[in-house]
Amino acid sequence: MQANKKTLIQKFFKKYGYYVGLAISLAVLITIVTIAVTMKPVSEVEENFTPVDTPTISFTSPVTDLTLMKNYSNSALQYNSTLNLWQAHKAVDFAADEGTEVYAVMDGKITEVTYNYLMGNIVKLDVGGGIVVVYASLASEIPVKVGDEVVKGSVIGKVSNTAKSEASDGPHLHLEVLLNGDSVDPALYLDISEK
Ligand SMILES: [Zn+2]
């Protein structure tokens, strides 16, 4: 009986062994192909990854020749020769001649035109995306008013020396950028590398 059983199995494999082997090979191949297709290549995964804090907004120059005078510092103190004290400077200052035209860095809406003793004549430009550009130390003749829609590159004011807190620096544009109400480095949106 035992011998017969063995013989039967042997007979079976002798007859169908090739097909059994073929079926197993095929199953393994299908499994491998399925895994390969399901798994995404690493490069593809990386391509689809977008860092959240990378700004896609780019400003045009607020004055024709960008001459960086004072850089942005969120916490590092810089000496203010006018006030004779050290303070953070949450803006960038560009030296320019009195009367130099100041441009809208992007399309936007004028949200504020004010005067402040320390910062002089100020124009605020809302460019969308939570970004507000603050121009300070402007001349008193402001060609825009609150509510005006301006296009990138249009004149929104002229450089002067009206910011009393920075008066000894001479005529310059004090440019501040607010993102959702907090000051951020304008260099995030504007190429201020010294040329
Ligand atoms: Zn300044």
Token pair in block for residue 86: 């050290």
Contact (CB, 8 A) for 93 and 169: yes
CA atoms of 98 and 109, how far apart (whole Å): 25
20 against 148, higher pLDDT: 148
Whole-Å CA distances, 107 to 159, 181, 182: 20, 19, 21
Contact (CB, 8 A) for 156 and 107: no
Distance 131 CA to ligand 1 centre (A): 19
- Ligand 1 (single-atom ion) residues, CB below 5 Å: 91, 93, 166, 174
The residues with which 178 forms a beta bridge, in sequence order, are: 132, 183
Nearest to 174 by CA among 59, 80, 86, 71: 71
Distance 167 CA to ligand 1 centre (A): 10
Distance 65 CA to ligand 1 centre (A): 17
Distance 165 CA to ligand 1 centre (A): 8
Give the 3-state secondary structure of residue 132.
Answer: strand
The 8-class DSSP code of residue 58 comes to -
Tens digit of each residue's pLDDT (9 = 90 or more) over 45-72: 555 555 555 557 899 999 999 999 999 9
Q: Is the pLDDT of residue 28 over 70?
A: yes
**H-run or E-run covering 24:** helix 2-38
Distance 23 CA to ligand 1 centre (A): 78
**H-run or E-run covering 135:** strand 131-138
CA atoms of 166 and 176, how far apart (whole Å): 14
Tens digit of each residue's pLDDT (9 = 90 or more) over 76-130: 788 888 888 888 899 999 999 999 999 999 999 999 999 999 999 999 999 999 9
Distance 90 CA to ligand 1 centre (A): 8
Q: Looking at the whole model, is its pTM more than 0.75? A: no
- Percent pLDDT > 70 in the chain is 87
Distance 140 CA to ligand 1 centre (A): 17
Distance 59 CA to ligand 1 centre (A): 19
Distance 12 CA to ligand 1 centre (A): 92
CA atoms of 66 and 58, how far apart (whole Å): 15
